[in-house]
Amino acid sequence: MSAYDESAITVRNATLPFSGMRAVVLEVLLIAAAVVLPVLAHLAHLPVRFLLPMHWPVIVAGLVYGWRGGALTGLFAPVVSYLFSGFPVPNILPSMMAELLTYGLVIGVLREKVGLNSFLSVAIALVLGRIVFVGFVLLTNGITANLTEYLQAALPPGLVAAVCQVILLPLFASWWIGQERGKNKSLREKAR
């Protein structure tokens, strides 16, 4: 199987290239989704700590556009969200920026550079991202409550969302990548 075969899932083409105007526009849309989904969840009084709505687009960005797209979405989504909605709150903002940056970066590196499958890449990134989150909370004194109580309130509720992210988002990203490659192939064939 050739490394240039676009239907193959290899290290070389596990993600879409993060270049060109279309990739930039779709990246901006992913950042917008990471801002809008939490706002909608808050407005609907949904349990944000259970759903982790900002995390989903960041993970998709890492799976679809690799470490560059994932890292950019992870870094900018919390900042843009804070500027528009005031969430995440200032004492948690640095921790969420670090956590989401870790998600996007690790997923992208594991897909592009290591060639790990999507499901395992997401699972590893989620664990590492949560470790980074807790580390930043501790370093920045981002909590005022007892650490044990805070961790019990902050981490377990997101486990169901994390399991759903590990199962569903690689499937969605695979579909997205297939759609984009199909469009690119059609354009190349029409150009001939």
pLDDT tens digit string along 49-61?
Answer: 899 999 999 999 9
**Most confident by average pLDDT, 101-110, 140-149, 181-190:** 101-110
pLDDT at 8: 39
The answer on pLDDT for 122 being more than 90 is yes
42 pLDDT exceeds 70?
Answer: yes
pTM of the entire structure? Answer: 0.89
Identify the band that residue 63 occupies on the pLDDT scale cut at 50, 70 and 90. Answer: very high
Which range is least confidently modeled, 1-10, 69-78, 98-107, 152-161? 1-10
Q: Is the pLDDT of residue 7 over 90?
A: no
Q: What is the 3-state secondary structure (H, E, C) of the chain?
A: CCCCCCCCCCHHHCCCCCCHHHHHHHHHHHHHHHHHHHHHHHHCCCCHHHHCCCHHHHHHHHHHHHHHHHHHHHHHHHHHHHHHHCCCCCCCHHHHHHHHHHHHHHHHHHHHHHCCCHHHHHHHHHHHHHHHHHHHHHHCCCCCCCHHHHHHHHCHHHHHHHHHHHHHHHHHHHHHHHHHHHHHHHHHHHHC
Average pLDDT on 91-110 reads 96
Give me the architecture of the 15-183 domain, per CATH: Orthogonal Bundle (1.10)
